[in-house]
Amino acid sequence: MNLAREHLGKIIRLDVLTVVTLPANVFKQGEILVLFNNTDKFTTLESKVANNYRSAISINKNFFEIPPRALINIVFVADDIAVLTIGM
């Protein structure tokens, strides 16, 4: 599943296992995406954005595991910096 501008302002519910792709050069500073993994398995988020951080963990990486039944917030603090928070 490729995330797009049409997903802004909505909760994107993942009901089947899939790789979620966060593309580069689509989202802008101040925009927020929300995902909900509604499965009982981990799924993968692959980010093409230049800089990706999980909140409170200062590691820049491009792949994140989304836990089962977890809510993910992706906040763009700059056009090329995405910060993810994972709530369970």
Over its length of 88 residues, how does the chain's per-residue pLDDT go in tens digits?
999 999 999 999 999 989 999 999 999 999 999 999 999 999 999 999 999 998 877 678 899 999 999 999 999 999 999 999 988 6
Question: Which residue range is the domain that position 32 belongs to?
Answer: 5-87
pTM for the structure as a whole: 0.91
Query: What CATH number is given to the structural domain containing 38?
Result: 2.60.120.640
Q: Can you tell me the distance from the alpha carbon of 13 to that of 22, in angstroms, rounded to the nearest whole number?
A: 15
Domains in the chain: how many in total? 1
Torsion, Cα 72 55 26 78, to 10 degrees, reads 150
Q: Can you tell me the distance from the alpha carbon of 82 to that of 60, in angstroms, rounded to the nearest whole number?
A: 10
Q: Can you tell me the distance from the alpha carbon of 28 to that of 83, in angstroms, rounded to the nearest whole number?
A: 13
